[in-house]
Amino acid sequence: MTAEMLKPRFTGARVTRIEDARLLRGQARYLDDIAAPGMLEMAFVRSNRAAARILSIDTSAALRVPGVKAVWTFADIPITLVNSAYPVQQPVLARDEVRHVGELVVAVIAEDRYTAEDAAELVQVKYDPLPPVLDTRAAMTDEPRRVHADRPNRFYHKVQETDGFQQAFAGAPRKLKLTFTTHRQTGVPLETRGCAAMPDPASGRLTVYATHQSPHNFRAQLARVLGLPENLVRVVVPEVGGGFGIKAMFYPEYVVVAEAARRLGRPVKWVSDRTECLLTDAHARDAVHEVEVAFTEDGRIVALRDHVLGDTGAYPFLGFAGAVGEAGWATDMLTGPYKIPYVSITIDCVFSNKAPTGPYRGVGGPIGAQVHEGVVDAIARELQMDPADVRRVNFIGPDDFPYETPTGNVYDPGSYRESLERALALVDYERLRRQQAEWRKQGRYVGIGLCSFVEPSAFAESEAGSIPYEAASVRIEPNGTVTASFGLGPTGQGHETTMAQLIADQLGVDVKDVVVLHGDTDSAPFGGGTGGSRSGTIGGGAAVRAGQELRTKLVKLAAHLLEASEEDIELTEGKAQVAGVPARGLSIRELARIAYTDVGRLPEGMTPGLEVLVRYRPPMAATYSNGIHLAVVEVDVKTGFVRVLDYVVVNDCGKLINPMIVEGQIHGGVAQGIGSALLEELRYDGNGQLVTTSLMDYLLPSSTDVPRMRIEHLETPSAAEGGFKGMGEGSLIGAPGAIANAVSDALAPFGVFVTDLPIRPEQIVRWVRQGA
């Protein structure tokens, strides 16, 4: 019986999320719910300057507060984080100098958080201010100064150009120049960051609870920084309330907490408050793309040039410099779903006296899509074509797969044109365009925005440092229920459900009989964790393969016991059944009992037990999902308020494991995309002070900003196990461009073309006044 012959009962079905039973009842156990007798808590004194030399730190008053156990500066904990690619020194507590507002300066450890915070306020830090580096362009030439004295601010420079670009560009009949900007934003997970460390002075092992997307990466980084072997560090990730990439990074607080637990011999916890999050959770975006496009009279794009300026803030994260990663993704995917033969890419990334940037859902994807979709719509406007038609002219066609982009990506088959047509049909595009014209006559400014995108995901390159595989450890327990363990780091995506669906189908058991464990490096097989939309495809592949291996053993055992041939055994509804002979069957429970505790009945040579550890690596470097977002917005030209009237998503992530979960991902991504396009900005003032330090200032979309969506699925399978493709980021990749293009379209009568996100109401009012 092969996997192909399986009639899946759960895979592809709208199985109710197993984890929702606890999440929706408020019974989940997050980091801040971790408590242990004798646990200390930590608070930090953070820099209130963007750039300054530290003249003195006086901790004496803080140390006198009853309940305070320790007050540490860099002198007490002289540990420095160093990104191996961009080796600037990031002291976990500031050494002689502070480089951004929010940087850690002093750690206060006390019996409880209240005491720690009160004592932190008594710490006196004297600063000698320095001129802050805040402007990206100026920073390129080390103006006004260097952020790190020993390195130029421009720490990264890359040029990539297709052979023949210059000639193609020069020879094209039409050209356009556009500058796209996305300002600083961040993921703002509902649960803030934190960690808690518990020492075992006896064995020397340290258990660290962390809100993190990759337990094993976290362990590797912490162990390396503390100089501990990995087998003496146990990382446990409890329930995580959202990550969005923010929680894939390693932050200096974790080092201080872990080291405090080791030195003081007591559990120590720190959980950030919202202001700390906005100050120091990985910031993102903050890039300028200077674009030139060359195209034909019929709208065919010939060549595309992009010069990216990215600001990575004061320090690169370990293993990830935000600006480099974002610019890399955005330009690598610069041609999106289009057959553009020539590209020229230049990337410059600088340090500044702002908070470090890192990954945020989709990384450079939203900017990349904003660029190529902005370019397509600008061409449409220039040539007075319908934006849909410019897309039709340029799409990679069904016969082009596997398609290699000018940046070297090899796309697996997708449904670019088909997605567009489905989306247009869903809104009755022709009718809608007529309606739009009607409304305009009535003074209603309604716009239609499209955003086609390709989402690279489930990265499985074999280059050094990458983890292009995932493992599943699956055990059928002696009583026939199933326990599966993964190195994934779910932050709410529903992996417990999707992995259980895949395993249940292989074993012919109920999805409720499969318990999925994760987050504990002691029980989980080594894995890369969650990020880059890899869990469903790579983790899911491991789940399927592990299920297959157990299935093969179950079938062999059942055939032996039932005296039937293996080909005739079906696993279904918790039983192994001889096909067509209802009387001849054995429950999985009975097979499990025999496999573990009645091993005299096993066939010759069969190992006892039903327990496998399987590692899966997809056969390709990445999968490429695709989709299109279509937004209909109305702009109130008096107030600048943008209302989303309609929203359609056509998404193709290959074979669906659970459409309900896929749709949940799309709902969330669109909501974040609306925030990204219309609301969210981390804004620094001229002194480098972050002025958006609460959710009153950093505006998130609420339920009134997010429309009902219509979602359709296409399923163009990948060559990965199960035909899955990653899809966790596509919705945030598609949404900002769709909103931007819709606003441009609405405000076309005023000559407005949006290239700067987020679009603020005051800006709209200004544009309308200028254009009217």
Asked if 574 is part of the footprint of a copy of itself (rule: CB under 8 A), the reply reads no
For 1-123, strand residue ranges (E) read: 40-46, 52-58, 68-72, 80-82, 89-91, 97-98, 104-110
Among 166, 435, 483, 572, binds a copy of itself (CB under 8 A): 483
Name the minimum Å distance from CB 454 to a copy of itself.
24
Asked if 89 is part of the footprint of a copy of itself (rule: CB under 8 A), the reply reads no
Q: How many residues bind a copy of itself (CB under 8 A)?
A: 64
Among 366, 387, 468, 494, binds a copy of itself (CB under 8 A): 468
Q: Do the bridges between strand 301-311 and strand 342-350 make them parallel or antiparallel, or are there none, so unpaired?
A: parallel
What are the distances in angstroms from CA 33 to CA 195, 238, 239, 242, 430? 11, 9, 10, 16, 54
Residues 231-290 binding a copy of itself (CB under 8 A) are 231-232
Name the minimum Å distance from CB 243 to a copy of itself.
20
Asked if 482 is part of the footprint of a copy of itself (rule: CB under 8 A), the reply reads yes
Asked if 479 is part of the footprint of a copy of itself (rule: CB under 8 A), the reply reads yes
Asked if 205 is part of the footprint of a copy of itself (rule: CB under 8 A), the reply reads yes
- Helix/strand/coil for 217: helix
Among 58, 143, 522, 685, binds a copy of itself (CB under 8 A): 522
Name the minimum Å distance from CB 362 to a copy of itself.
24
Give me the 16-35 binding string for a copy of itself, x by CB under 8 A, dash otherwise.
-----xx--x-xxx-----x
CB-CB neighbours of 553 under 10 Å: 20
CB 291 within 8 A of CB 371: yes
For 141-245, strand residue ranges (E) read: 154-161, 174-186, 194-200, 205-210, 233-236
Asked if 647 is part of the footprint of a copy of itself (rule: CB under 8 A), the reply reads no
CB 637 within 8 A of CB 445: yes
**What 8-state DSSP symbol labels residue 298?**
T
- What are the tokens at 685? 């003032």
Among 267, 374, 525, 540, binds a copy of itself (CB under 8 A): 525
Name the minimum Å distance from CB 474 to a copy of itself.
10
Choose the stretch contacting a copy of itself; rule: CB under 8 A; options: 185-193, 230-238, 284-292, 325-333: 230-238
Residue closer to a copy of itself by CB (options 461, 573) is: 461
Name the minimum Å distance from CB 147 to a copy of itself.
30
Asked if 513 is part of the footprint of a copy of itself (rule: CB under 8 A), the reply reads yes
- Helix/strand/coil for 275: helix
Asked if 227 is part of the footprint of a copy of itself (rule: CB under 8 A), the reply reads no
Among 140, 264, 613, 748, binds a copy of itself (CB under 8 A): 613
Q: How open is the CA angle 189-193-197, to the nearest 5 degrees?
A: 150
Asked if 475 is part of the footprint of a copy of itself (rule: CB under 8 A), the reply reads yes
- On the 0-12 / 13-18 / 19+ scale of CB atoms within 10 A, 167 is exposed
Among 13, 176, 517, 561, binds a copy of itself (CB under 8 A): 517
Name the minimum Å distance from CB 329 to a copy of itself.
20
Specify the DSSP element, H or E, that contains 670. helix 659-678
Choose the stretch contacting a copy of itself; rule: CB under 8 A; options: 93-101, 200-208, 400-408, 745-753: 200-208
CA distance 533 to 542: 15
Choose the stretch contacting a copy of itself; rule: CB under 8 A; options: 171-179, 468-476, 678-686, 730-738: 468-476
Paired residues of 757 in beta bridges: 182
CB 153 within 8 A of CB 350: yes
The position carrying tokens 């590797």 is 220
Give me the 652-671 binding string for a copy of itself, x by CB under 8 A, dash otherwise.
--------------------
Asked if 229 is part of the footprint of a copy of itself (rule: CB under 8 A), the reply reads yes
Asked if 441 is part of the footprint of a copy of itself (rule: CB under 8 A), the reply reads no
Asked if 604 is part of the footprint of a copy of itself (rule: CB under 8 A), the reply reads no
- On the 0-12 / 13-18 / 19+ scale of CB atoms within 10 A, 392 is middle
- Helix/strand/coil for 419: helix
CA distance 640 to 642: 6
Contacting positions for a copy of itself (CB under 8 A): 21-22, 25, 27-29, 35-37, 200-203, 205, 216, 220, 223-224, 229-232, 461-469, 471, 473, 475, 477-483, 485, 513-515, 517, 520, 522-523, 525-526, 596-600, 607-609, 611-613, 615, 617
